[in-house]
C-alpha cells in the first residue's frame, strides 16, 4: 500500500519513493529545519489551520522562507491528504506532516544553494501498536542523565528537526525500561515534555501542566486547556516536580496522535488509585470527543485489542 502513497515534493505530488533529499540537504546534515504534524479524525482534517500557523511561527524563528504562503501550504496539504486517504481503511487515520528544511547546502558549505526543501506527507497512525497503552495507561519514566534543553539554548517552542536531546532522553529510558514513555525533566528538575508529547497531572481536582516556556505548546495541550475552561475544570501552568508527580491523583499525556492518553505510573510509582482513566481525565476525554464532533478516539485505539491480547 505504501508503494502508492504520494507526497508533496518540489511543488508537486510524487510517489513517496521519489521524495528523496540530497545528502547535502541542511535538514539531513544538521537538522536545520522545522516541521509540524496534524492528524485526521475519521479521515477529516483536524486543526490543520492551527498546525500550519504554528509551522509558520517556527519558520519565522529560524528564518526559513518556505516559498509558499500559509494558504497555499494548507491547500497542498489537503491535496496530499486527499490523494492518500483511499489507501487506508475506514477506521484508520493519518498523521499529516510538513517537513521544511533550509534547502540544499552549497557544496562548499557556505550557505544554501536554492530554495527550502518542502515535503508534505501522510503516515498511518500506529493504532494497533498503541492500543494497550490507551486502555491501560502509559508507564512514564524520566531519564536520569538527559535534561530537556533549557530555553536559553534553544526554545522548545520551535518544532525543530534537531531532536537529539529528546531522542537521547528516550534512548536512556528504553535502556532501563523498554516500552516506557519518556518524559524529560528540565534543568531545574521539573517535568518538561516527551518526544512530541505534553504531560498533565491532576491534584485535588486541579489540572497542572508545565509552563509553555519549557515545552512545545502542543495543540492537543491547547485543546485540553479549552475543554477544561468550557467544563469549569481548573487548569494552570505550573512548575511540577517529582513530588507533585508521585502524589498526583491522576496524570495523562496529550499529543497529536494520542489526543489524550492516561498515565498509570511515573518512575514505577502508581498514580492515584492506579485505575485509568481517573475521574477528571475521563471528563476531559469526554470533552475531547466532543471537540472531535463525537468521534471516539479512545475506541479507535482500543478496538484493535479485540480478539487480540
Query: Among residue numbers 239 through 298, which ones bind a copy of itself (CB under 8 A)?
Result: 239, 241-244, 246-247, 267-269
Count of residues interacting with a copy of itself (CB under 8 A):
84
Q: Determine if 308 is a binding residue for a copy of itself (CB under 8 A).
A: no
CB of 292: closest distance to a copy of itself in angstroms? 21
In the region spanning residues 212 to 241, those forming contacts with a copy of itself, defined by CB under 8 A, are 213, 239, 241
Q: Cis ω on the peptide bond leading into residue 277 (within 30° of 0)?
A: yes
Q: Which of 11, 114, 189, 274 binds a copy of itself (CB under 8 A)?
A: 189
Smallest gap from residue 202 Cβ to a copy of itself (A):
16
Instruction: By CB under 8 A, tell whether 161 contacts a copy of itself.
Output: yes
Q: Report d(CA 53, CA 42) in Å as an integer.
A: 23
The alpha carbon dihedral of 228, 230, 233, 234 has a sign of positive
Applying CB under 8 A, the span of 19-27, 39-47, 72-80, 248-256 interacting with a copy of itself comes to: 19-27
How many angstroms separate the CA atoms of 192 and 240, rounded? 9
The one segment of 141-149, 221-229, 248-256, 279-287 that binds a copy of itself by CB under 8 A:
141-149
Q: How far is the CB of 9 from a copy of itself (least distance, A)?
A: 7
Any contact of residue 204 with a copy of itself (CB under 8 A)? no
50's grid cell = 492551527
Q: Least distance from C-beta 170 to a copy of itself, angstroms?
A: 10
Q: Which stretch binds a copy of itself (CB under 8 A): 83-91, 187-195, 291-299, 301-309?
A: 187-195
Question: Using the rule CB under 8 A, is 208 a contact of a copy of itself?
Answer: no
> 210 and 240 in contact (C-beta within 8 Å)?
yes
Instruction: Give the span between the Cα atoms of 246 and 265, in whole angstroms.
Output: 8
Nearer to a copy of itself, 109 or 309 (CB): 109
Backbone angles phi, psi at 110, to 5 degrees: -95, 25
Q: Are 140 and 251 in contact (CB under 8 A)?
A: yes
**Binding region for a copy of itself (CB under 8 A) out of 69-77, 83-91, 118-126, 219-227:** 118-126
- Point out which residues pair with 124 in neighbouring strands: 94
Stretch that binds a copy of itself, among 44-52, 76-84, 123-131, 225-233 (CB under 8 A): 123-131
Q: Is 104 in the site for a copy of itself (CB under 8 A)?
A: no
Minimum CB distance to a copy of itself smaller for 22 or for 279: 22
- Sort 136 into a burial class: Cβ within 10 Å, 0-12 / 13-18 / 19+: middle
**Cell numbers placing 184:** 524529560
Q: Which stretch binds a copy of itself (CB under 8 A): 42-50, 151-159, 279-287, 289-297?
A: 151-159
Other CB atoms within 10 A of residue 84 CB: 23
Contact call for residue 28 and a copy of itself (CB under 8 A): yes
Burial class (CB in 10 A: 0-12, 13-18, 19+), 308: exposed
**148, 289, 291, 304: which one binds a copy of itself (CB under 8 A):** 148
Cβ-in-10-Å burial (0-12, 13-18, 19+) of 55 comes to buried
Amino acid at each position: 500500500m505504501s508503494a502508492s502513497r504520494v507526497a508533496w515534493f518540489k511543488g508537486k505530488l510524487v510517489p513517496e519513493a521519489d521524495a528523496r533529499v540530497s545528502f547535502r540537504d541542511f535538514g539531513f546534515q544538521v537538522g536545520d529545519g522545522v516541521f509540524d504534524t496534524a492528524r485526521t479524525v475519521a479521515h477529516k482534517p483536524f486543526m490543520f489551520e492551527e498546525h500550519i500557523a504554528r509551522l509558520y511561527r517556527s519558520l519565522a524563528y529560524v528564518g526559513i522562507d518556505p516559498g509558499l504562503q500559509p494558504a497555499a501550504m494548507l491547500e497542498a496539504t489537503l491535496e496530499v491528504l486527499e490523494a492518500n486517504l483511499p489507501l487506508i481503511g475506514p477506521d484508520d487515520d493519518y498523521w499529516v506532516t510538513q517537513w521544511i528544511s533550509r534547502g540544499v547546502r552549497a557544496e562548499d558549505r557556505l550557505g544554501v544553494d536554492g530554495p527550502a526543501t518542502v515535503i508534505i506527507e501522510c503516515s498511518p497512525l500506529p493504532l494497533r501498536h498503541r492500543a494497550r497503552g490507551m486502555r491501560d495507561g502509559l508507564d512514564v519514566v524520566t531519564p536520569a542523565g538527559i535534561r530537556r534543553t533549557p530555553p536559553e539554548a534553544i526554545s522548545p517552542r520551535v518544532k525543530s528537526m534537531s531532536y537529539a536531546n529528546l531522542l537521547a532522553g528516550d534512548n536512556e529510558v528504553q535502556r532501563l525500561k523498554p516500552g516506557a514513555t519518556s518524559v524529560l525533566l528540565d534543568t531545574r528538575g521539573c517535568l518538561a515534555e516527551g518526544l512530541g508529547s505534553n504531560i498533565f497531572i491532576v491534584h485535588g481536582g486541579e489540572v497542572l501542566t508545565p509552563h509553555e516556556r519549557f515545552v512545545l505548546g502542543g495543540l492537543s495541550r491547547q485543546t485540553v486547556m479549552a475543554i477544561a475552561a468550557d467544563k469549569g475544570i481548573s487548569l494552570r501552568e505550573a512548575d511540577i516536580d517529582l513530588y507533585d508527580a508521585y502524589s498526583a491523583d491522576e496524570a495523562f499525556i496529550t499529543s497529536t496522535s494520542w489526543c489524550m492518553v492516561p498515565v498509570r505510573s511515573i518512575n514505577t510509582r502508581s498514580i492515584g488509585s492506579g485505575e485509568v482513566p481517573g475521574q477528571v481525565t475521563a471528563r476531559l476525554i469526554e470533552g475531547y470527543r466532543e471537540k472531535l464532533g463525537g468521534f471516539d478516539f479512545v475506541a479507535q485505539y482500543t478496538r484493535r485489542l479485540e480478539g487480540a491480547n
